[in-house]
Structures are given as C-alpha cells and as structure tokens.
C-alpha cells in the first residue's frame, strides 16, 4: 500500500459495556488512494469487524491529502453500504474550494443515497467563517432527527447573530465564494511552482486549502516529524507532520494555503536555502541526518 493514502473510518461499538460505562464508538482505519481498491479494502474491514460496523465516514475533498473522488466512487460505496446495512457519513466541508473547473460531487447525487447517508458541510471554508462553528447536515431523516435530539441535550443552538450571518451568507450574492476559490488557486499555483524551483516537487492539489507533500527523498530516513522540525528551525516554516493525521501519514507533510502569495514565496526561498544546505548547522546537515 502507498504511503499517500488518507483514511476512511468505520465506527463500531465495543463488544461489552457495563451499565456504569459510557458506550464509546471505536474506529477502524481503511486506506484509500490512487492505487488502492477502496471497495475491496472496505469489504475486508467490514468482514473483520466484530460487531458489524455502524457507519463509514468519508471526507472528500480530503483533509489532509486534498484528494477528490468522482460520482462513480460514491455510487459503489452507497451500493455496498446499502447491502450491508451501514450508514454513510460524508464530510463535504471543502466542496466549494476546488480548482480547474471541477466541482466535487455530493454523495446525495447518487440515487438511493438518502436512505443511508448524511452529508455535513461548514460555512467556515466557503465563507471564511472559521471559528464561528456554524454548518448544517442533510440526508437520512432518521439520522438527522437523532442528531437534533443529541444536540438538544448538549447545547442550545448557535449564537443568534451568527445564525443570522450564516443565513445572509447562504442567501446573498455568491461572488465572495468565487473570489475565495480564485485566491486559493493563486496560492496553490505559487506554492507548487516556488517549491519546484526550490527543488521540492509536490503534487498540485485539485481542491481544498491544503497541499499534501511527500518529503524530499534525502530526508526520508529522518522521518516526517524530524523533517518538520528541521523546516521550522532552519527555514522558519511551519508544516503539519503527516503522522499527526494517522498511521498512513508518515513520509508526508501538510502545507496550508492560508498565507498570501508574498509570504508563500518567502517561505519557499527559505526552504530552498535549507534544502541546498546554505542554512544548515554542521551538527544537523543533511549528511549527518
């Protein structure tokens, strides 16, 4: 299996619980990626999960890998999960941050998906409302009702002005969404080109506000965490180590496109100086590492 695989999570319940214990869902990771037969991996995971899985959690466009899938992918997942009696929870938070004219599909476009699927989205990315904690879920009526009941026990709803602002964002002109999308595309293009010039080849993401970058070959031996530390210490650039996102993240770092193009170019220049050895300390030079 390749290392650039993100993860799908299957939620299930413990075998035994006592009356005085809370029932805590467990999770099983399933690899996905360009060279992976996801449906085969999903079937294998379901077969070896005792008790049977309750739900499959999907996240496309994906964080951290920025991977996208097509409608045929969702159709296969829906067909299998309907047959197995498994719910599908689809996280579509980055649906509006896509590039090259390819809008990511919704699982609810698949006929019959609403019988088993719920889709979640957020206004954080689409309307730059991060931290406001506002979004919505659509899909299977039974699951939506259960979610509403759980939330009624946990909170009393979002702050009213935030709800009003969210309504205005959804019902108002959508020029801002196009502007945000174009802004991230410019940042993506600048980052990919600048790192290429620095000697670090990274794939160009098709969506989301992240780039999932394999660490340079000469640093594979030190690992993702140490490479991230070296970038911070020698290039003043902070990236997220791939291992922080799960067992399949080793060998990669996540780069967020949250800075403007000028700062991205400066970061790339710092990285170029680091990779060329111009700002290494003798004790931490590439040969020693």
pLDDT digits (tens, 9 = 90+) for 97-119: 999 888 999 999 999 999 999 99
pLDDT at 12: 45
Residues 261, 225: contact at Cβ < 8 Å? no
Q: What is the pLDDT of residue 19?
A: 47
Tokens of 224: 């993702």
Q: Answer whether 6-171 and 175-284 agree in fold.
A: no
Give me the helices (H) in 101-242, please: 123-126, 141-154, 160-171, 175-197, 224-235
Regions of the chain where pLDDT drops below 50: 1-4, 11-19, 281-289
6-171 under CATH 3.30.365.10, yes or no: no
- Could you please state the CATH topology (level 3) that the domain comprising 175-284 is classified under: 3.90.1150
Instruction: Look at residue 284 in the predicted model and tell me its pLDDT.
Output: 42
Helix (H) or strand (E) holding 273: helix 261-275
Work out the end-to-end distance of the chain between its first and last CA atoms, rounded to an integer number of angstroms. Answer: 26
Cβ count near 64 (within 10 Å): 22
71-97 per-position pLDDT tens digit: 999 999 999 999 999 999 999 999 999
Helix (H) or strand (E) holding 78: helix 71-84
**3-class secondary structure for 6-68?**
EEEEEEECCCCCCCCCCCCCEEEEEEECCCCCHHHHHHHHHHCCCCCCCEEEEECCCCCCCCC
Q: Which burial class, exposed, middle or buried, applies to 165 when counting CB atoms under 10 A from its CB (0-12, 13-18, 19+)?
A: middle
Break the chain into its structural domains and give their ranges: 6-171, 175-284
Predicted pLDDT at 280: 55
Q: What is the pLDDT of residue 48?
A: 86
122: three-class secondary structure by DSSP: strand
């Amino acid at each position: 299996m390749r290392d650039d695989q993100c993860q799908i999570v299957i939620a299930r319940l413990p075998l035994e619980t006592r009356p005085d214990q809370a029932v805590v869902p467990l999770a099983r990771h399933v690899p996905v990626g360009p060279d992976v037969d996801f449906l085969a991996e999903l079937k294998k995971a379901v077969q070896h999960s005792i008790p049977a899985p309750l739900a499959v959690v999907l996240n496309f466009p994906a964080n951290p890998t920025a991977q996208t899938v097509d409608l045929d992918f969702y159709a296969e997942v829906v067909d299998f999960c309907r047959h197995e009696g498994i719910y599908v929870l689809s996280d579509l938070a980055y649906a509006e941050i896509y590039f090259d004219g390819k809008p990511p599909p919704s699982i609810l476009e698949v006929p019959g998906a609403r019988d088993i699927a719920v889709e979640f989205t957020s206004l954080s990315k689409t309307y730059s409302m991060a931290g406001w904690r506002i979004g919505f879920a659509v899909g299977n009526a039974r699951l939506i009702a259960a979610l509403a009941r759980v939330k009624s026990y946990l909170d009393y709803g979002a702050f009213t002005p935030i709800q009003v602002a969210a309504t205005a964002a959804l019902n108002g002109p959508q020029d801002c969404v196009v502007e945000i999308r174009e802004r991230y595309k410019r940042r993506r293009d600048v980052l990919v080109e600048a790192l290429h010039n620095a000697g670090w080849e990274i794939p160009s993401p098709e969506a989301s506000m992240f780039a999932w970058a394999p660490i340079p070959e000469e640093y594979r031996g030190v690992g993702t965490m140490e490479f991230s530390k070296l970038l911070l210490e020698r290039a003043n650039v902070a990236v997220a180590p791939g291992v922080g996102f799960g067992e399949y993240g080793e060998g990669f770092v996540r780069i967020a496109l949250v800075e403007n193009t000028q700062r991205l170019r400066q970061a790339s220049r710092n990285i170029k100086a680091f990779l060329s050895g111009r700002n290494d300390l003798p004790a931490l030079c590439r040969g020693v590492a």
